Amino acid sequence: MSVVTNTTTIGAIEAPSRRNTELALLAFAVAIPVFAYLNVGLAIDGKVPAGMAGYGLGLALLAGVAHLVVRKWAPYSDPLLLPLATLLNGMGLVLIWRLDQSPRLIATSMRLYKSFSPDAPSQMMYSAVGIAMFVGVLLLLKDHRVLQRYTYISMVVSLVLLLLPLVPGLGADVFGAKIWIRVGGFSIQPGEFAKLVLAVFFSGYLMVKRDALALASRRFMGLYLPRGRDLGPILTIWAVSLLILVFENDLGTSLLFFGMFVIMLYVATERTSWIVMGLLMAVAGAAVVGSTASHVKSRVAAWLDPFGCLETATDQNMLNACDQMTQVLMSFGSGGILGTGLGQGNSDLISFAANSDFIFATVGEELGLAGVMVFLLLYGLIVERGIRTALAARDPFGKLLAMGLSGAFALQIFVVAGGVMGLIPLTGMTMPFLAYGGSSVIANWALIGILIRISDTARRPAPAPAPSPDAEMTQVVRP
Amino acid sequence: MNKPLRRVAIFCGLLVFALLLRDNWLQFVRADELNAHPKNTRVRIERYANERGNIIVDGKPITGSVDSGGNYYKYKRTYVNGPMWAPVTGYASQVYDANQIEKIEDGILTGNDDRLFFDRTLAMFTGDKKKGGDVVTTLSGAAQKAAYEGLGKNTGAVVAIEPSTGKVLALASTPSYDPASIAGSNDEKAWVALNGAKNKPMQNRALREIYPPGSVFKVVTAAAALESGKVTDINAATETPEGWKIPLSRVPMKNHSGGCANASLNEALRVSCNSVFAKLGDDVGRDKMVEMAEKFGFNAEQFTPVRSAASVYDKQADRGGNALSSIGQFNTATTPLQMAMVTAAIANDGKLMKPYMIDKLVAPNLDVIKQNDPEEMSRPVSPENAQKLQQMMENVVSKGTGAKADLNMDGVRVGGKTGTAQHGEKNAKRPYAWFISYAKTDQGSPVAVAVIVEDAEGTNREDISGGGLAAPIAKAVMKAVIKNRG
């Protein structure tokens, strides 16, 4: 980097730790959701919500604990990541709480399950577990390079995690997508955790194999083609992601993993040919599966012409997909530029998964174009801080890991937000931190924890060079 | 490794940028389209989120709103005497959209109209609930009641207009329906039944149905004959042989009554001579006939503001067709509203006022947002000729087929014209009974009426006649209007 910034390690002798900046930003990250909470209460009931103090204190407590842990155990880490994640998590809680109070969603739940339980308290609990995970990562992982030792174990773990939903009796089919498992009353989305573990595996693997992949290759039509034996693992990953697509019926998850792998491969080898190959393979895979798997097909139909397919839908599944898509689009459209205001929209017309897969539509309707752009930029900032951490990291493993995690995060944002806004076909993933769901919150807090750990290592001032024995003997003669 | 890292950073930036672009496309460019999409229930949620404004007749609301306690649509529309007023109000349903005044003035009734912006903003500060404005109509409760009850169980329609202003006083159509029965969110059964019903209760016959007018159209032909100068003295004999042959055919024109040979215009209208008017229409010529009909409003939709169907006078008919058209047969077809307009123009000494049924729009704080003023539409006939037409029509009532419409009131003259329109293949269907009339005092004409009775249950076919079935209804309506005036 030509410009010396706070994240570069070179040049700054006494790099400021920026912990006070983080604290100030955290104050905002807590205050804004509390204000939003008040806003929802006033809009729906016309009075200050009773739970406001509890909510504010809870969020402040979680943020405070996270901050103190960072101050003590990762003092040089990036000051933006924690406040950004806290703000998103806090706003997510407010949005979920807002949807909990929708009489329509309550009525729908009563009709379908004969009971209704608010999701906000559970999400608050998941957030606490998420912060605990974050603290745990910082306490236990003193140096991220330790993870390098677990490269192949990570591979096995990630494959197991990815394939768990396919195990009969464990996996759960939720409206066509099989990306959930049920254990003792809890639904877990293993894909969210697999994202982290896979990044560790890719980093460790590529760090070792990058030279072989980059240099031992033949030139063909301007592209460097790798040797067959180096190609093996890549084809394996491609096959696995296709398997996910076919058997778990989820376009998003497979796109996420394959995309993450291609990005990391490109960063590790600096060969553009990988991107070309990756794109070709992804397109080929998606085209084949997209035209055969019925679940994916209905999602694609809903994406191409949501309103038209309400009439032309061939089965109930496709009709549901199209109906959801039209409701989501109309929700965004009804928000307009400034939105209806929190608590005053009708995004609860999306009666299915309003507070998880489609929570972004509530942002769109109630906070409008302005609000959605703010949220997208917040996510963009997290990605940017993550990539900056990768740039600043001193070791290739840290670089790859930070890049892999930020790249996966960026892809997930794109796949989910693009899906609900109709830019690409909808997939079964959720907005990190915003959407209701324990797996997602916990896994993403762990992701932020790892990024903070890498950035702390990257920004930590280099140890003072050992005093040279010559120095003492040198005499400076002044005239 | 930093060079590819920077490139990936740019790629991630592009991903976010693509999302931002898409969001702008969705929430800025397409916002209005998505917001107004027919599948978007928000339009209806908004429509029923607050107490809806009312439609007012004679200072009293004929609509209402009740809190239905639903999760989707809070308030539900109610109607006072729904079936009677349905042709005026239309319906506002939580599921099936709305029509007529309920639809046209939806913005005012819901309070979302731009003209109510100030009221809304004020309500926001004072903490009041948003409320809809009211639509004040020109209709007369007494006239509407007389019309609706006069039609009774028959299928038909009545339109009454105040000739000097064009205000619609009565607009009845039977069989009718109660808009309240389809206002709620669980009224699918009623909706399906109404739409499938054979007697089409949801059809607004006063505005949307076009009927062959038969003899009542002769008034228009008489106006054309006078205006074109073919006839100057209404009591002078016309050169019309009995059994006048329709041009381009060998069929002689049949009359249903005697004394039509060389009958004067006045006499021909009194006994309703087909031959005289067919020949006059032929003499005037197709283009002049079309011109006259169009001046009265034919061949165009009328907006009251509720749209009416366009009445038809064939512009391409050959000579034979034109002669038949001149006595209200062939392709001639008219809405009851159109015939009321013809009558009103004659009663108003030749000046046709644009018919309208919304007097004013009122904000929740009773400020008048919009006042509709009477508007001249055209002058189909000169005042002198209009008076000649009045003289002839009054003759019909005092000495002819329209005797049953005579009010027998001091200082009130009544003019009218009967019609019994045959229709269907070989005129096999039961004929339509028509009657048009107006009442006139020294201060001008307070009311002009057009009545059609499509199908009178239990009436022998031979007994169906404009003078017998429709004239008493017209009389009741005119009487109600005059009584109501004091």
pLDDT band at residue A468 under the 50/70/90 scheme: low
Q: Give B 42-101 residues with CB within 8 A of chain A.
A: 42, 45, 71-72
User: Hey, are the CB atoms on B31 and A334 less than 8 Å from each other?
Assistant: yes
Q: Give yes or no for a contact between B160 and B148, defined as CB atoms under 8 angstroms apart.
A: no
pLDDT of B239 above 90: no
pLDDT of A451 above 90: yes
Residue whose token pair is 């106006």: B223
Q: Using a CB–CB cutoff of 8 Å, tell me whether A383 touches chain B.
A: yes
User: Hey, are the CB atoms on A418 and B19 less than 8 Å from each other?
Assistant: yes
Ranking A113-122, A140-149, A358-367, B460-469 by mean pLDDT, the lowest is B460-469
The angle, 0 to 180 degrees and rounded to 10, between the axes of the packed helices A438-459 and A120-140 is 30
Tokens at B465, concatenated = 């006649």
The number of C-alpha atoms within 13 Å of A390 and in the hemisphere containing its C-beta is 30
Tokens at B254, concatenated = 């049949």
Compute the mean pLDDT over every residue in chain A, rounded to the nearest whole number: 86
User: Hey, are the CB atoms on A384 and B12 less than 8 Å from each other?
Assistant: yes
The angle, 0 to 180 degrees and rounded to 10, between the axes of the packed helices A228-247 and A190-215 is 160
To test the contact with chain B by mutation, choose from A414, A416, A420 the residue with the greatest count of B C-beta atoms within 10 A, namely A414
Share of chain A above pLDDT 70, in %: 89
Contacts of A368 in chain B (CB under 8 A): 27
Q: Using a CB–CB cutoff of 8 Å, tell me whether A171 touches chain B.
A: no
CA distance B409 to B395: 16
Q: Using a CB–CB cutoff of 8 Å, tell me whether B366 touches chain A.
A: no
Q: Higher pLDDT residue, A171 or A14?
A: A171
Amino acid at A402: A
Which residues, including other chains, have CB under 8 Å from residue B35's CB and lie 6 or more apart? A330, A333, A334, A336, B42, B43
Q: Give A 311-350 residues with CB within 8 A of chain B.
A: 326, 329-330, 332-337, 346, 349
Q: Using a CB–CB cutoff of 8 Å, tell me whether B28 touches chain A.
A: yes
Q: How far is A470 from chain B (nearest CA, A)?
A: 36
Contacts of B32 in chain A (CB under 8 A): 333
Domain at B207-359+373-485: CATH code: 3.40.710.10
pLDDT digits (tens, 9 = 90+) for A161-184: 888 888 877 777 666 667 788 777
pLDDT of A417 above 90: yes
pLDDT of A12 above 50: no
**Number of neighbouring beta carbons within 10 Å of residue B118:** 12
Q: Give yes or no for a contact between B305 and B358, defined as CB atoms under 8 angstroms apart.
A: yes
pLDDT digits (tens, 9 = 90+) for A34-66: 999 999 999 988 889 988 999 999 999 999 999
The whole model's pTM is what? 0.75
Q: Using a CB–CB cutoff of 8 Å, tell me whether B19 touches chain A.
A: yes
Contacts of B37 in chain A (CB under 8 A): 307, 330, 333
N-term to C-term CA, chain B: 98
CA distance A391 to B3: 9
Element (H, E) at A82: helix A81-100
Q: Higher pLDDT residue, A25 or A215?
A: A25
Element (H, E) at B419: strand B413-421
Q: Reduce the DSSP state of residue B162 to 3 states and report it.
A: strand
Q: Which residues of B are catalytic?
A: 215
Tokens at A79, concatenated = 């000051």
Q: Give yes or no for a contact between B380 and B371, defined as CB atoms under 8 angstroms apart.
A: no
Q: Using a CB–CB cutoff of 8 Å, tell me whether B14 touches chain A.
A: no
Which residues, including other chains, have CB under 8 Å from residue B127's CB and lie 6 or more apart? none
pLDDT band at residue A224 under the 50/70/90 scheme: low
Share of chain B above pLDDT 70, in %: 96
Q: Which pLDDT belongs to residue A4?
A: 45
- A&B contacts, CB < 8 Å: 132
Q: Using a CB–CB cutoff of 8 Å, tell me whether B10 touches chain A.
A: no
To test the contact with chain B by mutation, choose from A372, A409, A411, A416 the residue with the greatest count of B C-beta atoms within 10 A, namely A372
Q: Give A 172-231 residues with CB within 8 A of chain B.
A: none
Share of chain B above pLDDT 90, in %: 39
Q: Using a CB–CB cutoff of 8 Å, tell me whether A390 touches chain B.
A: yes
* Residue from B462, B445, B450 nearest B156 by CA: B450
User: Hey, are the CB atoms on A421 and B22 less than 8 Å from each other?
Assistant: yes
Q: Which pLDDT belongs to residue A1?
A: 43
Kindly identify which residue of chain B lies nearest to residue A398, measuring between CA atoms.
Answer: B1
Residue B10 has φ and ψ, to the nearest 5°, of: -65, -40
Q: Higher pLDDT residue, A218 or B214?
A: B214
Q: Using a CB–CB cutoff of 8 Å, tell me whether B34 touches chain A.
A: yes
pLDDT digits (tens, 9 = 90+) for B140-151: 999 999 999 988
Domain boundaries, chain A: 19-461
Q: Give A 41-60 residues with CB within 8 A of chain B.
A: none
User: Hey, are the CB atoms on A330 and B31 less than 8 Å from each other?
Assistant: no
Q: How far is A421 from chain B (nearest CA, A)?
A: 7
Element (H, E) at B49: none
Which residues, including other chains, have CB under 8 Å from residue A38's CB and lie 6 or more apart? A48, A49, A52
User: Hey, are the CB atoms on A336 and B19 less than 8 Å from each other?
Assistant: no
Facing B27 at nearest CB: one of A364, A410, A411 = A364
Q: How far is B24 from chain A (nearest CA, A)?
A: 7
CA dist list (Å): A146 to A38, A78, A204, A402, B318: 44, 20, 11, 14, 100
Tokens at A108, concatenated = 């729908």
Contacts of A372 in chain B (CB under 8 A): 23, 27
pLDDT of A13 above 60: no
Compute the mean pLDDT over every residue in chain B, rounded to the nearest whole number: 87
Phi/psi zone of residue A89: left (φ > 0), alpha (ψ -120 to 50 degrees), beta?
alpha
Contacts of A383 in chain B (CB under 8 A): 12, 16
Select the highest-mean-pLDDT range: A268-277, A350-359, B22-31: B22-31
Q: Give A 270-299 residues with CB within 8 A of chain B.
A: 270
Q: Using a CB–CB cutoff of 8 Å, tell me whether B35 touches chain A.
A: yes
Q: Higher pLDDT residue, A254 or B473?
A: B473
pLDDT band at residue A437 under the 50/70/90 scheme: confident
The number of C-alpha atoms within 13 Å of B412 and in the hemisphere containing its C-beta is 20
CA dist list (Å): B131 to A342, B56, B180, B279: 22, 16, 21, 60
User: Hey, are the CB atoms on B2 and A423 less than 8 Å from each other?
Assistant: no
String of DSSP letters for A249-290: --HHHHHHHHHHHHHHHHHHH--HHHHHHHHHHHHHHHHHHH
Phi/psi zone of residue B81: left (φ > 0), alpha (ψ -120 to 50 degrees), beta?
left
